[in-house]
């Protein structure tokens, strides 16, 4: 598996350097910054930097700019992972190299892991620009909590990896990328608490937000940024985050292995 992971990392790195040097990175950085800029513009020009008592309650006292920055950082990280790992199989199919992968003995898990590792640095790089922009406009970074926040971001990235495997399976099954990825991105951006508490949503959408790991990743990271140390505050979101990660991984991996048989039959037909 290790050799397969290394081979995938080298292959993907060469593709990024030669074919898409900065296109995807630049577009996601700009998208993340603009996603922050619009709520910030409303915060200053419309609401005059005032928030309601309900927001203070739901945000556990976090100021809005920091609240928004943390949500957007994890949103960019999740979308970057979904775009890279989620699109890997359908990209191989469109480039005509999927058949070689299917007929080779390379570990399927190793292929996904290699794709994830190769894109991880770029995802962090993109998220760092969102943090920089947030600090410039007034977000406050609690320096004492930086180590635990970084740890939260790392483990959140792993949960996004699990979900991206399922997304990859959906894409290869439907032979579609744009509809699938844009649906997931819009849903997660709107209902996972990126820019506002999910308590503002109708009950049905709140229940829908519970199926996305991003909801719990954002909640845990925000609690850590506030220095909240009560274990009971973290227990429920951590348990749900871990459970969703395993569920998405199993559904995505075994779903692909089932569909892989049909793909191999098509190759040999």
> pLDDT tens, 86-106?
888 888 888 888 888 888 888
Whole-model pTM: value is 0.90
Tokens at 58, concatenated: 């739901």
Please report the pLDDT score of residue 269 as a whole number: 59
Measured between alpha carbons, how far is 232 from 24 in angstroms, rounded to an integer? 40
Q: Chain centroid to CA 71: how far?
A: 11
Q: What residue ranges do the domains of the chain occupy? A: 2-268
Q: Crossing angle of helices 231-268/213-225, nearest 10°? A: 150
User: Integer distance in angstroms from the first to the last C-alpha of the chain?
Assistant: 29
Please report the pLDDT score of residue 214 as a whole number: 94
Measured between alpha carbons, how far is 196 from 200 in angstroms, rounded to an integer? 8
Residue 98: name the closest of 25, 162, 175 by CA: 175
CB neighbours of residue 229 within 10 Å: 9
Please report the pLDDT score of residue 84 as a whole number: 85
Measured between alpha carbons, how far is 268 from 89 in angstroms, rounded to an integer? 19
Q: Rounded to whole angstroms, what are the CA distances from 192 to 13, 28, 186?
A: 31, 19, 10
Higher pLDDT, 225 or 233: 225
Residue 176, sorted as left (phi over 0), alpha (psi -120 to 50) or beta, turns out to be: beta
Is residue 40 predicted with pLDDT exceeding 80? yes
Quote the mean pLDDT of the chain: 86
Measured between alpha carbons, how far is 98 from 95 in angstroms, rounded to an integer? 8
- The dihedral through the CA atoms of 48, 217, 207, 179 has a sign that is positive
- DSSP output for 192-225: SSSSS-GGGS-HHHHHHHTT-HHHHHHHHHHHHH
Please report the pLDDT score of residue 72 as a whole number: 92
């Amino acid at each position: 598996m290790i050799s397969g992971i290394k081979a995938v990392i080298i292959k993907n790195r060469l593709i990024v350097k030669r074919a898409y040097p900065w296109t995807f990175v630049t577009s996601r950085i700009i998208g993340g910054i603009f996603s922050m800029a619009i709520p910030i513009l409303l915060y200053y020009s419309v609401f005059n930097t005032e928030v309601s008592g309900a927001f203070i309650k739901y945000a556990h006292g976090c100021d809005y700019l920091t609240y928004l920055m943390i949500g957007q950082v994890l949103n960019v990280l999740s979308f970057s992972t979904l775009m890279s790992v989620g699109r890997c199989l359908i990209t191989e199919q469109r480039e005509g190299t999927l058949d070689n992968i299917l007929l080779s003995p390379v570990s399927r898990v190793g292929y996904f892991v290699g794709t994830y590792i190769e894109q991880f640095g770029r995802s962090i790089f993109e998220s760092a620009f969102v943090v920089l922009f947030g600090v410039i406009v007034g977000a406050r970074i609690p320096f004492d909590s930086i180590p635990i926040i970084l740890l939260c971001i790392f483990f959140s990235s792993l949960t996004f990896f699990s979900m991206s495997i399922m997304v990859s399976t959906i894409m290869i099954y439907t032979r579609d990328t744009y509809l699938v990825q844009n649906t997931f991105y819009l849903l997660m951006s709107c209902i996972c608490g990126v820019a506002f508490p999910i308590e503002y949503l109708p009950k049905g959408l709140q229940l829908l937000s519970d199926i996305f790991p991003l909801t719990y990743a954002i909640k845990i990271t925000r609690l850590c940024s506030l220095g909240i140390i009560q274990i009971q505050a973290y227990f429920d979101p951590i348990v749900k985050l871990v459970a969703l990660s395993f569920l998405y991984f199993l559904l995505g991996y075994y779903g692909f292995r089932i569909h892989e048989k049909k793909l191999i039959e098509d190759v040999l037909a």
